[in-house]
Amino acid sequence: MILHLAGVSLKKDGNWILKNIDWDINKGENWTLLGLNGAGKTAMLHMLCSYYFPTTGEVEVVDRKFGRDILGEQLRQQIGIVSSSLKQRMYGTDSAYQVVLSGAFASIGLYETPTDAMREKAQQILKDLDCFSYANRAYRTLSQGEQQRVLIGRALMNDPKLLILDEPTNGLDFIAREQLLTSIEQISSGESAPSIIYVTHHVEEILPTFNKTLLLKDGEVFQQGATNKMIQSEVLSAFFEIPVEVDWSEERPRLKKK
């Protein structure tokens, strides 16, 4: 079991942001979390990383039950996350290599001396993700697409059981987007691949490897299940409340307004 949420709700500033969420992720599953702006996707991810504590319900992440006694730090070592808030918090003068290495300590910046094994691993990850040519460049000089790759590399340093990608293609042109998606597909096909939660509002980004989909609407689960059942014209027209048509070709969906 990678993730188990039962009856989870989250209240912030007097508003219910997440309402009665039941969600299980088993090993081998990769999920798309699809929802419009303000649906509660990022709040959900913050909760999974134990930055937010659920107001009601039960949360278990990578076999650890949330309780006041669980240290967020320990939990976060088992989860890799890439998000826009994390992207902005990196130190611009650190090299791409240093940013990836810092993932070993789940820290922003490097404060401890990495072992030789960590250094080798960071280099291998940079090679696998095609980042090696700019490994020594300052993070702030990298393009958005390059920064995203480096952050994914950082998230992989601890061999996480769960990799969370919150809109990783934001700001990328369509070529960089497809290249990043190809890398994500490769990560998911590795031998000890993590389960992935891929958060997006773009149906077009749903890769064949994302075999499950959760549709989140106004803080509630609208529907969840097999991706090919969720990403259908009828379901999504009801979800978006406008008539839309889904075209599936080469295992990738495309959305059109009717």
Ligand X SMILES: Nc1ncnc2c1ncn2[C@@H]1O[C@H](COP(=O)(O)OP(=O)(O)OP(=O)(O)O)[C@@H](O)[C@H]1O
As measured in angstroms, the least distance from the Cβ of 38 to ligand X is: 4
Half-sphere CA count of 100, side-chain side, radius 13 A: 32
Judged by CB under 6 A, how many residues of this single chain contact ligand X? 12
User: Residues near 155 by Cβ (< 8 Å), separated by ≥ 6?
Assistant: 80, 81, 82, 103, 163
Q: Where are the alpha helices (DSSP H) in the chain?
A: 41-48, 72-76, 84-89, 96-102, 116-128, 144-156, 174-188, 227-230, 233-240
User: Residues near 89 by Cβ (< 8 Å), separated by ≥ 6?
Assistant: 108
Residues 31-70, mask of contacts with ligand X (x by CB under 6 A): ----x-xxxxxxx---------------------------
Q: Record the tokens describing residue 119, joined without a space.
A: 């250094």
Q: Would you say 44 or 162 has its CB closer to ligand X? A: 44
Q: Would you say 41 or 154 has its CB closer to Mg ion? A: 41
| φ/ψ (deg, to 5) at 40 | 115, 15
Residues within window 25-44 making contact with Mg ion, judged by CB under 5 A: 41-42
Q: Would you say 43 or 236 has its CB closer to ligand X? A: 43
| φ/ψ (deg, to 5) at 201 | -110, 5
196 contact, one of Mg ion, ligand X, none, CB 5-8 Å limit per kind: none
| 17 touches ligand X (CB under 6 A) | yes
| 253 touches ligand X (CB under 6 A) | no
Residues 192-221, mask of contacts with ligand X (x by CB under 6 A): ---------x--------------------
**Which residues contact ligand X by CB under 6 A?**
12-13, 17, 35, 37-43, 201
Question: Which residues contact Mg ion (rule: CB under 5 A)?
Answer: 41-42
